[in-house]
Structure 1
Amino acid sequence: MKIIKSIEAARSFIEDRNIANAGELSQNSVSSKYNDSVDEILQNVRMKGDQALIEYTNQFDRVDITKIQLNHEDISNGAKNISKELFDALKVSSKRIYEFAKRTMPSSWFDPVTGLGESVVPMQKVGLYVPGGTATYPSTVLMSSMIAKAVGVPEIILCTPPKINGMPDDSILAAAQIAGIDKVYCIGGAQAIAAMAYGTQTIPKVDKICGPGNIFVTLAKKKVFGEVGIDGLFGPTETVVIADEIARPEFCAADMLAQAEHDELAFPVLITTSENILNNVEIELNRQLENLDRNQIAKESINNNCALILVDNVEMCVELSNLIAPEHVCLNIQNPNEWVKQIINAGAIFVGDYSAEVMGDYIAGPSHTLPTFGTSRYSSYLGAQQFIKYMP
């Protein structure tokens, strides 16, 4: 954990990090073994199709899959295995995501006086990727598919890796059922990205690929861009909490830990005008860490990447936040709505003490797929606009 108590030191710290981020996925900075591996996977899937998918699933997931595409019974059985509480929560979330996307959907228009107009049409086929690994992400299924549904995309497919039993996690299948996803494929990793980009005997080629993943998935998305569209290249999660003397330290710490537990490389930052708040947030971070299920991951993030920054006023807090251009910004300050327009670089803004960042992860409505690596300077969240085309 780094504690910084001057605006000059904070600017220097952020600028150094931004330089490091800028090269994170460049051809020269990524290890050649990753690039070479992904190139080989893409080429093999393009040439060998389903056979390559089966071979890579055996090699990387240690699973001998008997089928690539799941049928409706597979999906239904998986959905039945989760608790009613979780199933109902996923349904509530799906409804809110759908309704928010509908409200943000642009419309076609035509002006008979000038004879000019613009036609807004949905993409025809979208591929979603949902990772496996150390956690399961049914929310990610909904945060992409319900937006595509709201926009009117006629065909939505999903690729997700199998567990040791040869099937995806039950919660992911439940989310797919709720979303009414057309086809679910039990394939993960860079090979899934290749399959959706090029098409195989079983998996169709799509117009756009959406979803986060590890370094192999991210590199694969980068390499197939142009063959298909992609939603973005996503790195470890970032959260900036801006707090003044009235902020509640336990809430600030909870917002930071909500992201720290996602990834050892997560970047949680507090920027405050109060030394008392800074000290108490540090205490709260250590106290709350002990009660987290994923506290080992969160501890790595807090110990190695967390920063607590003290500055003179809220204007300086906002300046530093805009320099970071983070995925999430939480405004735990007096009159927070008055500062919203000053936040010009962020994936999403959470306004006030009770606008918990974790709500945005699961149920608020806007997609939790947000720009990282400082890319909120020029890109936006995964919304309706990502699934449509504009034709004048």
Structure 2
Amino acid sequence: MCHGIGSAAGRRVDPADFNEVKARLKRWIFGLAGKEPEAFVVSFCSGEETLAKAMCEEIRRLEPSRRHFSVEASESYREIRKRFRRYRIGLAPVLFTPDARYRRLRRAAFLLAPAKILAYNARLERHHLKLTSPVASWLFLRGVPLDRIFLRPRWLWPWRKDRTIRPQGHKIIEGRPRNPKRRSLAVLTPYFPYPLSHGGAVRMFHLLREAAREFDVVVYAFTEGEIAEADLKPVLEFVVRVYLVPKPRYREPRWSTLLPPEVGEYRSPEMERLLRSRQTDLLQVEYTYLASYGGDILVEHDVTYDLYAQVRERRRSFSAWWDWWRWHRYERRAIARFGRVVVMSEKDRRLLGAGHARVIENGVELERFEPRPECAGRRLLFIGSFRHFPNIVAFRFLTEQIIPGCIGAITRALLNQR
């Protein structure tokens, strides 16, 4: 008798029977609530059509076993609620971009499935919005890249593992022979000035080539990877040497430092060591965020605090004021430390109010760029590197203030960005 009881107790429950019981219980519980037992995916197309389509396609690939629905901006909250009254929303992908036209649809998503929001940004990065991680969720909605929303400042979390990496080591590439009769000029740049894919590289390349007629030029540049031999060759034709230093991997929140974050991104002990041991007569520093290295000539590609002043006027938030205040404090002090400052225009010179500032305006290489008759069509081309902050400001001004006002007159306008 005892043997029989032991045999019954030792038997395992069949997983298929358990899953069947679980499924029946699930159907019964949600049936009482008037809901379908299976969870569905409802994608809210709360952004530009191309981004919304890409989001929906990705979520279908990620959740192939579920049924999928999509909601357009033309549907009201009442219509959406009525449509999905009997459905249980298990996941609600929602696009969050600066486009204010889709705010009503995003609000509807929060009302229908507040705990199921899978937020997508304009880069199609995704993040589950959770009450357990409110700071990260808030930062993601504010437009902070996904790999930075969990960053905490070193001074507050000194034990954190995700720290800034400032690589050691450098690479030296020899160019043309030195001329002992010439003075020498070292030029510090945040990137190698070739290929000529954006305005900063175009300006530096041509001015360095002209300077090389009278000086032996040595370039100190940060890199984010290997530079192709074909890109090195045009610069090596007129410089005597190139030092390449890996760019640091900066892992501090933008708000957490007294210095502008761009300054911290380029602080490199390796570059500091190289510049201290340089054997040149002069040091020219390109871009304001490299001014902390010191030198003789500072080239202000923009008056950066003025750009942030424009942002502050539009946003009127503490974060916008904080960015402006840091840049104004840093830039005014940097200008005073250099014997000569080069600016792009008379307007910039007047903004700085510095007697030692000189204007070297930007130009156009007419041999490379030839004017052509305008072609008929409705396609717009925006040219500008998004690594340069003023170009981001210009692009947002175009898309947020100019394009919406033109849509009524140009209903089929397309925007290409490069």
TM-score, length-scaled by structure 1: 0.28
Q: Greater helix share, 1 or 2?
A: 1
TM-score, length-scaled by structure 2: 0.27
- Between the two structures, name the one with larger relative contact order (CA 8 Å, sep ≥ 6): 1
